[in-house]
Structure 1
Amino acid sequence: MTREPAATQSTALLTDQYELTMVQAALASGAAERRCVFEVFTRHLPAGRRYGVVAGTGRMLEGLEQFQFGTAEIDWLAEQGIVDGRTLDYLADYRFSGDIHGYAEGEVFMPDSPVLRVEASFAEACLLETFVLSVLNHDSAIASAASRMSLAAGDRPCVEMGSRRTHELSAVASARAAAVAGFTATSNLEAGRRWGLPTIGTAAHSFTLLHDSEEEAFAAQVEAFGPGTTLLVDTYDVFEAVRRAARIAGPELGAVRLDSGDLVEQAGEVRALLDSLGNTDTKIIVSSDLDEHAIARLQAAPVDSYGVGTKLVTGGGFPTAAMVYKLVQRTDDDGAPVSVAKNAPGKASLGGVKHPLRSFDEAGRAEAELIGVGASPETHGASTRELMVPLVLGGEIQQEHLGAGCVRRAAQRHADSLAELPAAAKRLQDGDPVLPTIFS
């Protein structure tokens, strides 16, 4: 049995047991090498959402590089008796050699959009299901929530501050997904290191409580970081704190942060107080359980930026994008393609390989998601844009989708996609998807 060492940290066991047991059974039946096409899509958007956002593509591809069963993984599977020796031999030599196409990271999607297509033998593609879905479902949910928050904020920046409200590794992924959807910085240092994201942060309430007085705490922070720092002013009395902050840091005080109370009313009063004290350039940052609706209400207030945590890293109440990974085509014993589909009540799928385009009206505004089954869709003369891009060809990951640069490109793709959508995409009220999905 060949047992080459896996990559530094294998992702191969970030999966469900039935992926491996299906491979064992398929090897036994002789169907494991049938060429298959799997597609990832969601049947519906969360209630009221007008569009979703594809995110996590770069993370998924990085994980694919490490999706190998090394000695440690094979030995554990053998000890547990999860699969037989033949299957262990197959897994020990596993390297994905197929093709993957998908919507570019940052692209918006609609119900039934085939956001990812995996083409490979059944065994190769089957093993990826759980890993692919776990990454895309999490990151797309976060990015979809972040996009709505960014839209509500308009020109005011949103920063991600949710690390303490989720799993430690989800926090890193959430910061990345938020950056794809328009957030400008994160408090998470690992996300900054790994993805090249700008990081922010100064002090919490505990720092103020540590000192004998608020004045002493502010003075210590200004001494350490200069007057351009951000001072948290709601530990005790907000307005007294603003006066102390202005007195200690002077007119060069960078910002004050409000984290409790009626933020709309407070922001107006704090702005007036700062201006009266000569701190006309001092900014106001607000946090405290913000979501897109709270941000929209704060648009009337003199706020400069928003710190968003819990509601972001939990997907705005929808922590999954509800994506599924379905077999839509396979070959028969003669190598001919056969369309296949699930036909269960409420969970039906559509067989055949999908070819998506986005169509535009004469003004250049997106008007529909056109999906051809088995061939390119009918366009009826409309202007269209291809939505699928190559991610993996012949087992080789396309390098432009990896690294810190891919986050910047995804953020630009997202901004460009939003700019194409009808104005209804910006509405926060419940409504149907902003584009219809039309099959042909």
Structure 2
Amino acid sequence: MTSTALLTDMYELTMIKAAMHAGVAFRRCTFDLFPRRLPTGRSYGVVAGTGRALEGLKDFRFGPDEIAFLTERGVADDMLAEWLADYRFSGTIRGYREGELFFSGSPVMVVEGSFAEVVVLETLLLSIFNHDSAVASAASRMTLAAEGRPIIEMGGRRTHEWAAVASARAAWIAGFGPSSDLEAGRSWGIPVSGTAAHAFTMLFDSEEEAFEAQLETMGEDTTLLVDTYDVDEAIRKAVELTDGRIGAIRIDSGDLTVEVRRVRKLLDSLGATKTRIIVTNDLDEYQIAALRGAPVDGFGVGTSVVTGSGHPTCGMVYKMVSRANSDDPDAEQHPVAKKSQNKGTIGGRKTVMRQIDEHGVAVAEVIGVDVAPRADSNDRMVMDDLVRDGEIVGTEPLSAARDRHAKSRAELPLSGQKISRAEQAIPTVYVSQRGESQENIYLIGEAPANL
């Protein structure tokens, strides 16, 4: 086990130390992890990272080496060091399952426990969800634009080596096909794929020799990269060497909207009517959408997906929303909220329902504040238990997250499936209890500036 405990902002520990000396560190609290708003132009986001967060929580331990570092640097005094040495999260976590959609204000994760044990998890949770959900959100837009055609994730050479593994995982949840990253395959069971780069072709005295070597080791169903020198000559040679049975060719340059149509005609004229055309070349969701009517059979995407396609973070935050006034574990919590300009929060414990109309289309994200929203027959509750009294109960196969995403995205209204600049697909509605009735607090969509 490698401890994840020092993947933590120092101020988490300085807060705990001060709270301990003030006698308030062990009051029961609830924190929400949520995005204040969706990135500009996005109609929805995709939750990814829950499984990694639960893995990180399991390994969140302060061993002798971590304690020694903290005490030597003066971060921890004796009281804090003693508590950290025995740290085990004993609280409760509820949240959105991976693959689920989220919207402005969605409480993606709700963490409850003592102030000390909950606040110390802030950096770990935010770093995972902000990264993984950004990648999954971008990947979902790309698979939406691809309209069922496969996309290979190939961003391992465009980001930090371990971020690449997490990115491949997040992209697969959102519908990508294989990854080129071998560690992603080993760590998460994701299918892997890869053939050859231009360097392989350039290693040989001729393109024909390079193709022959690749075909001999990988078979005729391999994908030959045909734009190292002359595209047309490479295609003719690939067809000749396989009697028209070459599985696929890849194009990595040029004006793809024009080139793929010309190449398809050439392949068909040579009798290679079943040969697939795969395109790469710094693609993003907009370029994929522009190729919807072109004879493209698959895509390879790297840089844009691992960087969130222009939005490398989801802007998620982790804020206290309720707390008790004593250390009594049964003490009632009451709502607390920030009133900061442009950074206000909504106090109270949250429960979420996705409102679905009679046609199976999502209508609203309904967030109950200290009350469960009333559900009709088609509506569904979104949050599940992930950790109960310190026991992790939310683990699931990655395939479940992938299936969930496909179902959740299918609920979007047509306006929410736009790739071009869009508004939030459905409004976020906050409801609270007043007497015997539920009352809307407000909507997000025309979101108040202080949310």
Question: Normalising to structure 2: TM-score of the pair?
Answer: 0.93
Structure 1 residues 133-180: Cα deviation after superposition (integer angstroms, max 9, x where no partner): 000000000000000000000021111011101000000000000001
Determine if contact 2:286/2:420 at 8 Å carries over to the other structure: no
Structure 1 residues 276-308: Cα deviation after superposition (integer angstroms, max 9, x where no partner): 112111111000111111001111111100100
Whether 2:329 is the aligned partner of 1:338: answer no
Name the structure 2 match of 1:4: none
Structure 1 residues 37-79: Cα deviation after superposition (integer angstroms, max 9, x where no partner): 0001111111110000000100110111100011111111122
Distance 1:255 1:329 in 2: 57
1:226 to partner: Cα distance? 1.3
1:227 to partner: Cα distance? 1.4
Determine if contact 1:227/1:250 at 8 Å carries over to the other structure: no
Overall identity of the aligned pairs, in %: 56
Counterpart of 2:368 in structure 1: which amino acid? G
Whether 2:107 is the aligned partner of 1:109: answer no
Match of 2:395 among 400, 407, 417: 400
Change (3 A) 1:383 1:229: closer
Match of 1:384 among 379, 383, 400: 379
- Structure 1 portions without partners, runs of 5+: 1-7
Structure 1 residues 235-283: Cα deviation after superposition (integer angstroms, max 9, x where no partner): 1111111111111233221110000001111111111111111211111
Name the structure 1 match of 2:348: 352
Name the structure 2 match of 1:5: none
The structure with the greater share of residues assigned to helix is: 1
Name the structure 2 match of 1:264: 257
Determine if contact 1:70/1:92 at 8 Å carries over to the other structure: yes
Determine if contact 1:36/1:119 at 8 Å carries over to the other structure: yes
Name the structure 2 match of 1:365: 361
Distance 1:232 1:286 in 2: 10
Distance 2:394 2:111 in 1: 18
1:336 to partner: Cα distance? 2.8
Determine if contact 1:99/1:119 at 8 Å carries over to the other structure: yes
Distance 1:231 1:359 in 2: 48
1:382 to partner: Cα distance? 6.7
Distance 2:23 2:260 in 1: 68
SS at match of 1:102: strand
SS at match of 2:292: helix
* Aligned positions of 1:281-292 closer than 5 A: 281-292=274-285
Structure 1 residues 188-244: Cα deviation after superposition (integer angstroms, max 9, x where no partner): 000011111111100001111111111111111111111111110011111111111
Name the structure 1 match of 2:159: 166
Distance 1:413 1:286 in 2: 28
Match of 1:439 among 423, 430, 444: 430
1:378 to partner: Cα distance? 4.6
Whether 2:17 is the aligned partner of 1:24: answer yes
Change (3 A) 1:384 1:157: same
1:421 to partner: Cα distance? 1.3
Moved more, 213-222 or 330-339: 330-339
Name the structure 2 match of 1:3: none
Match of 1:427 among 418, 443, 446: 418
Counterpart of 1:124 in structure 2: which amino acid? E
Determine if contact 2:416/2:422 at 8 Å carries over to the other structure: no
RMSD of equivalent CA atoms: 1.1
Distance 2:406 2:85 in 1: 42
SS at match of 1:344: coil
Determine if contact 2:354/2:365 at 8 Å carries over to the other structure: yes
1:377 to partner: Cα distance? 2.3
- Structure 2 portions without partners, runs of 5+: 432-451
SS at match of 2:291: helix
Counterpart of 1:76 in structure 2: which amino acid? F
* Aligned positions of 1:219-298 closer than 5 A: 219-298=212-291
Name the structure 2 match of 1:326: 319
Name the structure 1 match of 2:120: 127
SS at match of 1:400: coil
Structure 1 residues 306-331: Cα deviation after superposition (integer angstroms, max 9, x where no partner): 10011111001000010000000000
1:399 to partner: Cα distance? 5.3
| Structure 1 runs (4+) greater than 4 angstroms displaced | none
Count of residue pairs brought into register by the alignment? 428
Distance 2:159 2:414 in 1: 33
Moved more, 283-292 or 209-218: 209-218
Determine if contact 1:377/1:439 at 8 Å carries over to the other structure: no
Match of 1:412 among 403, 411, 414: 403
1:30 to partner: Cα distance? 0.9
Counterpart of 2:412 in structure 1: which amino acid? L
Counterpart of 1:354 in structure 2: which amino acid? K
Name the structure 1 match of 2:62: 69
Distance 1:47 1:41 in 2: 16
Match of 1:177 among 170, 177, 185: 170
Question: Normalising to structure 1: TM-score of the pair?
Answer: 0.96
Distance 2:209 2:159 in 1: 33
SS at match of 1:41: strand
SS at match of 1:18: helix
Distance 1:134 1:256 in 2: 38
